[in-house]
Amino acid sequence: MRLQILWSSVQFRLCPFFFFLRKRNPPSPFVCCRMALNPADSRTFPIVDAIVADAASVFASCAYVNVGGDEVDHGCWQNAPQHEAITTWMQQNNVANFSQLEAYFTRYAQEAVVKNKKTPMVWEDAFTVGGALPESIIGIWRSKEKLAEVVHSGRKALLLYGYYQDMEAPLCTQSLECPECTVNWLWIWTYVDMYGNDPIADLNLSQEEADLVLGGEAAMWSESVDVLSWDVRGLTRSPAVAERLWSDASVTDRNWLELRVDRFRCISVRRGVSGAGPLYSDYCTPPEKEPEEDEIEWLPPPPPPPPPPPPP
């Protein structure tokens, strides 16, 4: 097995959904900024410690905790009503600018994970601002060039770039004008892009660096996904990602992939596991629908059997 998919992990973000920097009018933190924590608030770091400790305890069997750290908006600190308190705290803690503040936060969260005897995971943004611990696993979502940069530094990495299940052009995370950008006629055809996205091909990595690429992750933004759409979004292309990561680099025939994935899909449908659609024109007999309680036509019980005949 050339590459492996990780694992058991728990993921949450330390930047979103806190209210320490919100404006009083309007009350939503999403209007104020894109959700960064206030380091000058005495509650902030104890809450980070408590969340990480709780996650490590609740998910005791997980070896990893992902503390996120992507797309931190520095304008939140710059424009917050607490700006003066934040900059005073930065001066007291030798933090020169907001990039260093972002790095401070991500390092603190990762150190909290290590204290709880777990391995931290972060997004590549933490690495970019110099906030990734040496033992942290870096999630790469922008480009394979960033993957090469991370493993060149001696850190372990996990590739998400090219494997997002909700994108019409999964290789275009930077711009629709990038050379790799191909918008598919049907969104379902993105499985071809994912299948062709070998994590380490064409990166000229040494064997030692290639070994630092632990695998990949088929991710999906959840804003437009729920129990009704998960099968269609996730279970049609994720087998292509799995095959890419499990297969030898020489195995690239998309036509054979279609046959295997559609057979897998039909078996799942017949077993009632999946509601995903096919990759191409196909016929798959779905399972018979179980009748609902109010659809059952209840019949009277059968009469008792006749008594046995008398003995001769």
Catalytic residue numbers? 71
Query: Which burial class, exposed, middle or buried, applies to 297 when counting CB atoms under 10 A from its CB (0-12, 13-18, 19+)?
Result: exposed
Query: Which burial class, exposed, middle or buried, applies to 83 when counting CB atoms under 10 A from its CB (0-12, 13-18, 19+)?
Result: middle
- Measure the CA–CA gap between 20 and 41, rounded to whole angstroms: 7
Helices and strands counted in the chain (H then E): 12, 6
Helix, strand, or coil here: 290? Answer: coil
**What dihedral do alpha carbons 6, 11, 13, 17 form, nearest 10°?**
150
Amino acid type, 122: V
Q: Which two tokens stand for residue 122?
A: 């972060």
- Measure the CA–CA gap between 175 and 165, rounded to whole angstroms: 18
Q: Which of 59, 55, 155, 72 is nearest to 113 (CA)?
A: 55
